[in-house]
Amino acid sequence: MFEEFIQKIADYTNNYSVLGIVKLVVDAVLSLLILFFIVKLFKAKTHNKWLYLVMIGIIIAVLAIYILQMSLLLTIVKFLAFWSLGVLLIIYSTEVRRFFENNFHNARTSAPSVTEAEKKELISTLIRSVTWLSKRKVGALITIERDDSLTGLIEKSIQINGVITEELLTTIFTVGTPTHDGAVIIRNNRIMCAAAYLPVTDKYDLPKSLGSRHRAAIGMSEKYDALTIVVSEETGGISYTIDGNINQGVSIEKLADALERYIPVK
């Protein structure tokens, strides 16, 4: 058994030639890196944009392995191909579904339909509403749709589809109403729904001071490009999330700047 193994190494390295040994070392190092990458991939959820990079990287790696005929890597690829595909589909079912929706279905919104004037009025309404909610420590979760379609979440919530006003937005979050829990989703200058349940982040290293609303807002920003505003029920503090990051304790002025930066127009 051992002699056969030694013979295989000798054959693979062309009787221990310099180029053969270099090829063996590169093969072994790449094999370990691929195994390490797969383990890390299984342990962490990823934002949708990373799915493109993963797929491109896998395609490039497989092509390079076959072109260079690295037997060790070929063995690993053949062994893991079937099982890894099944495990990845299970672990990343949400990301895979959204990937195909974005590319083969209309999972993107149509072009934004708010003008500069409508955007200015929308920001003004949001700022007045958030200020009112914050001063009275009324918890709120407000998600603003950008490019990624949120139709799937909207359809599972309480339908409103009304023009956004300060009175409507603040009433939705009044304690004791059926719409108090969950989020409102805004598309263009309309409140599409209330009591929407957003995907909660899987991060475990977040501060304990962040409650369910904050975790939902972070999870939303990890899976979609939407901007979500959070008003804390305990402190009245204002936060917003975008691109998987949370900005805590922001002032009304900084929130207005973020809305100006991230709300798209025609």
3 state DSSP class of 210: coil
Report the pLDDT averaged over residues 157-165. 95
Q: Are 185 and 150 in contact (CB under 8 A)?
A: yes
pLDDT digits (tens, 9 = 90+) for 65-76: 656 666 555 666
- DSSP-assigned beta bridge partners for residue 186: 144, 191
Domain boundaries, the chain: 2-104, 116-262
Among the ranges given (73-82, 185-194, 255-264), the one the predictor scored with the smallest mean pLDDT: 73-82
Which residues, other chains included, contact 3 with Cβ-Cβ below 8 Å and sequence gap of 6+? Answer: none
Q: What are phi and psi of 129, to 5 degrees?
A: -65, -45
What Rg do the C-alpha atoms of the chain give, in angstroms? 25
Q: Which CATH architecture has domain 116-262?
A: 3-Layer(aba) Sandwich (3.40)
CA distance 12 to 71: 8
Cα 183 versus chain centre, distance = 18
pLDDT digits (tens, 9 = 90+) for 24-48: 677 667 666 666 666 555 555 444 5
One-letter amino acid of 181: D
Report the pLDDT averaged over residues 61-66. 62
E strand or H helix at 151: helix 151-155
**For position 16, what pLDDT does the model report?**
72
Pick the more confident residue, 1 or 169.
Answer: 169
Q: Are 200 and 214 in contact (CB under 8 A)?
A: no
One-letter amino acid of 110: S
